[in-house]
Amino acid sequence: MDLGDIRNWVFIVIAVVMLAGSIVVVTTRNVVHAALMLVATLGGAAAIFILLGAEFVAATVVLVYIGAVVVLFLFGVMITRAPLGGQGALDHSRKWPAALTAIATFAVLAGSTVAFFGDAEIGSGDPVLTSEIGSSIFNRFVIPFEVVSFVLLAALIGGIVLARRDPEA
């Protein structure tokens, strides 16, 4: 690794923050702290996307995951159960299989990434223009895009059906 390149140092800092954050997410006994640490971890993910020149993806991560998913998370937790000072019931008796699964997933992903890309350089760091992303989604990948939107529409309708209470006839 080239220690003279500042990008490597930035990457190391981001990676340490993400790693520490994600460890706290699974070990803390306080649900709200876990959600807030998830924000730090997701922020790190967004920073790595910026490092790779994918500005649009980074902003999407911030908007969707931090701005919507975690906020809804916190919102749900706060109106149901979020006592200050944490609680003991967060632990799970089957935590070791879960840890094993997580480590195995990481090993498979890391192994296959290294095996496939080796030390090839990925991305020059030049920002990708939003218009390029737009035209590739709506030209080359238009069918997968439509499929995904169909799935989301189905999920939306399912959510409404589950939540709504029909007036008794």
Binding site for other proteins (CB under 8 A): 30, 32-33, 36, 39, 55-56, 59-60, 62-63, 66-68, 70-72, 74-75, 78-79, 82, 84-85, 127, 129-130
DSSP state of 88: G
Asked if residues 10 and 44 have their Cβ atoms less than 8 Å apart, the reply is no
Smallest separation (angstroms) from other proteins to the CB of 153: 14
Asked if residues 66 and 39 have their Cβ atoms less than 8 Å apart, the reply is yes
Q: Which two tokens stand for residue 36?
A: 């807030």
- In terms of CB distance, is 18 or 42 closer to other proteins? 42
Angstrom distances, CA of residue 26 to CA of 4, 20, 56, 163: 35, 10, 29, 30
- In terms of CB distance, is 18 or 35 closer to other proteins? 35
3-class DSSP assignment, residue 143: helix
Smallest separation (angstroms) from other proteins to the CB of 107: 33
Smallest separation (angstroms) from other proteins to the CB of 12: 19
- In terms of CB distance, is 14 or 39 closer to other proteins? 39
- In terms of CB distance, is 25 or 74 closer to other proteins? 74
Side chain identity at 108, as an amino acid letter? V
Smallest separation (angstroms) from other proteins to the CB of 165: 17
**Cα distance between residue 54 and residue 42, in whole Å:** 15
